[in-house]
């Protein structure tokens, strides 16, 4: 069974996984995910055409978001669950066709099915001969650069879908976001696409990502309150414990409610750390602290720990036997042999935790979080004064995904080398490279500010816009340097969001995406002055040398 996948930073040989995914997914899982994307292209095409005729369908929209998110790296490793989703996808494609056909008939328009793009006409079975050649990401006759731009767009909308899924769960109207997802999926079917048309859609993807992150911020603050700075203890305190990983704050809220008064302590892990900054979550006294660091360390950090582990979104790795029986997934996350929670009934997780000791108490450094745009802008006058008087020289945005590939110590070295008159803003799980260090403060303002999860790039954007307004300058005139680490597709959406605002000079690493051709990279370099990271010393000297 053939496979080819190049969507994450750690892809094999920096080119693509063609035997088994470095993430751990099998060729069968990779092909099933390709099948879902093939289906989604057809669904998107049909839904986009139907929308142009004035009709939409909530079930089609919901499937689009969930199926896209399911194919993000480290979400779903279960072939059986993917097959069920693929069967649902074929039904959804038929539903989308009927939607388009009925809307066309209502306007006396004819549809020639033979002229529809292949994904809109149907899906080959998973056992079809040469299926990878038909539906894989290398299928089709696009030239390398157009294919590259299509992959940038595809991976960008996967990231947007992840954020849209969270917003939808919290009750937000994501219709405008889904409209763009369908437009993008329709464009991926277009054999006549040009570099110009695809570049325009890639930038539009960034604009959609900004809107989606703003919507999710609204959903989070509306449900859980506005984040506030808080110092979070790390390590387990002993006693029955549940460690919650991923990104879904609604899952965490439900778990906290179900464990109230049960004698179970709940801890965050990885990207769930910012949950402690939300009043609606931190009000639960048994939200006891944070355990562990970033996703790629879980096999080592969870090994032999007598606690229950709940994965709410992407970031799961193959569990070791020493703790596999203690692992649970929910939502779109799945791993073979791991218990899956349906409908947020966390009783099996709670019972498992109550049957375990939680281990010996451990203590680590306290971590500051909750420093999003509300917290920073509440101190705007002071921050602006410190910048004007030279006490704050520059802001360094150092954040993004963490990962296992060598070279990520760069971000630790850079953060440690940032001068004492500069402030570091961080977000996402890349912060665990250095957020346990004491960076001190400048006139009471911490030199390290954790803005939150990866989707909280919206906070960085909001703060930057406010500062630019206060100083009467453009975003690129601010004393701000952005250095990003990337691993998976949400980071692609974040980068495109920043580029859509016209931000220039962003540094990215630890390596460049395998799906970006040299010609496409040159377009980005010429338009946005994107730079690959070099060494912490060289990059810092280059940044400060421009002042």
Q: Where are the domains of the chain?
A: 12-222, 232-364, 373-545
Which residues partner with 330 through β-bridges?
A: 341
Can you name the CATH fold of 232-364? Rossmann fold (3.40.50)
SS3 of the chain: helix, strand, coil, percent, to 5: 50, 15, 35
Q: How far is CA 275 from CA 367, 492, 503, in A?
A: 12, 23, 29
What pLDDT was estimated at residue 135? 85
What pLDDT was estimated at residue 128? 61
- Collapse the DSSP code of 28 into the 3-class scheme (helix H, G, I; strand E, B; otherwise coil) and give the result: helix
**Which stretches in the chain have pLDDT values below 70?**
1, 125-130, 132
Same fold, 12-222 and 232-364: no
- Burial-class residue 397 by CB neighbours within 10 Å (0-12, 13-18, 19+): buried
CB 400 within 8 A of CB 485: yes
DSSP-derived secondary structure for 50-111: HHHTT---HHHHHHHHHHHHHTSTTSB--HHHHHHHHHHHHHHHHHHHHHHHHHHHHTT---
CA 356 – CA 360 distance, rounded (Å): 12
CA 281 – CA 220 distance, rounded (Å): 11
What pLDDT was estimated at residue 330? 98
What pLDDT was estimated at residue 358? 87
Token representation of residue 170: 């919290």
Among the four given CATH numbers 3.20.20.80, 1.10.238.10, 1.20.1270.20, 3.40.50.1980, the one describing domain 12-222: 1.20.1270.20
CB 234 within 8 A of CB 363: yes
Top-level class of domain 373-545: alpha beta
Using alpha carbons only, give the angle 343, 344, 346 rounded to the nearest 5 degrees. Answer: 130
pLDDT digits (tens, 9 = 90+) for 336-386: 999 999 999 999 999 999 999 888 888 899 999 999 999 999 999 999 999
What pLDDT was estimated at residue 131? 72
What pLDDT was estimated at residue 130? 66
What pLDDT was estimated at residue 329? 98
Which residues partner with 434 through β-bridges?
A: none
């Amino acid at each position: 069974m053939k496979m080819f996948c190049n969507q994450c930073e750690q892809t094999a040989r920096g080119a693509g996984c063609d035997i088994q995914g470095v993430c751990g997914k099998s060729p069968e899982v990779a092909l099933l995910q390709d099948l879902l994307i093939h289906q989604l292209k057809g669904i998107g095409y049909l839904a986009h055409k139907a929308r142009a005729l004035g009709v939409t369908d909530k079930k089609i929209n919901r499937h689009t978001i969930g199926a896209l998110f399911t194919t993000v790296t480290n979400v779903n490793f279960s072939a059986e669950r993917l097959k069920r989703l693929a069967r649902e996808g074929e039904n959804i494609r038929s539903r989308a066709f009927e939607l388009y056909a009925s809307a066309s008939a209502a306007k006396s328009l004819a549809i020639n099915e033979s002229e529809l793009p292949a994904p809109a006409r149907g899906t080959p079975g998973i056992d079809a001969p040469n299926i990878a050649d038909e539906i894989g990401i290398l299928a089709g006759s696009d030239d390398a650069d157009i294919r590259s731009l299509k992959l940038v767009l595809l991976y960008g909308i996967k990231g947007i879908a992840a954020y849209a899924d969270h917003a939808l769960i919290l009750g937000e109207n994501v219709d405008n976001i889904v409209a763009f997802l369908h437009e993008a999926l329709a464009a991926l079917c277009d054999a006549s696409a040009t570099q110009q048309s695809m570049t325009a859609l890639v930038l539009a993807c960034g604009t959609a990502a900004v809107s989606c992150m703003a919507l999710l911020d609204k959903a989070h603050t509306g449900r859980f309150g506005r984040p506030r700075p808080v110092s979070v203890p790390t390590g387990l305190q002993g006693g029955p414990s549940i460690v919650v990983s991923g990104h879904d704050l609604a899952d965490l809220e439900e778990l906290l409610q179900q464990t109230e008064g049960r004698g179970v302590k709940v801890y965050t892990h990885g990207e769930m750390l910012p949950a402690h900054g939300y009043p609606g979550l931190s009000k639960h006294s048994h939200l006891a602290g944070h355990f562990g660091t970033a996703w790629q360390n879980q096999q080592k950090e969870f090994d032999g720990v007598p606690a229950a582990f709940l994965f709410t979104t992407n970031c799961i790795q193959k569990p070791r036997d020493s703790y596999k029986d203690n692992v649970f997934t929910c939502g779109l996350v799945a791993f073979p042999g791991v218990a899956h929670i349906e409908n947020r009934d966390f009783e099996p997780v709670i019972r498992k935790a109550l049957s375990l000791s939680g281990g010996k108490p451990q203590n680590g450094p306290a971590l500051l979080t909750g420093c999003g745009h509300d917290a920073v802008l509440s101190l705007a006058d002071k921050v602006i004064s410190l910048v004007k008087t030279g006490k704050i020289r520059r802001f360094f945005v150092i954040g993004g995904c963490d990962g296992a590939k060598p070279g990520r110590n760069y971000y630790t070295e850079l953060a440690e080398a940032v001068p004492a008159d500069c402030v570091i803003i961080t977000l996402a799980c890349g912060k665990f490279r250095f957020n346990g260090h004491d960076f001190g403060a400048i006139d009471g303002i911490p030199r390290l500010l954790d803005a939150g999860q990866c989707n909280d790039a919206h906070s960085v954007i909001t703060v930057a816009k406010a500062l630019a307004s206060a100083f009467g300058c453009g975003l690129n005139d601010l004393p701000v340097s952005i250095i990003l680490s990337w691993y998976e597709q949400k980071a692609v959406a974040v980068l495109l969001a920043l580029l859509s605002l016209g931000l220039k000079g962003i540094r990215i690493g630890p390596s460049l995406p395998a799906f970006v051709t040299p010609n496409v990279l040159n377009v980005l370099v010429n338009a946005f002055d994107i730079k690959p990271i070099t060494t912490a010393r060289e990059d810092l000297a280059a940044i400060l040398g421009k002042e």
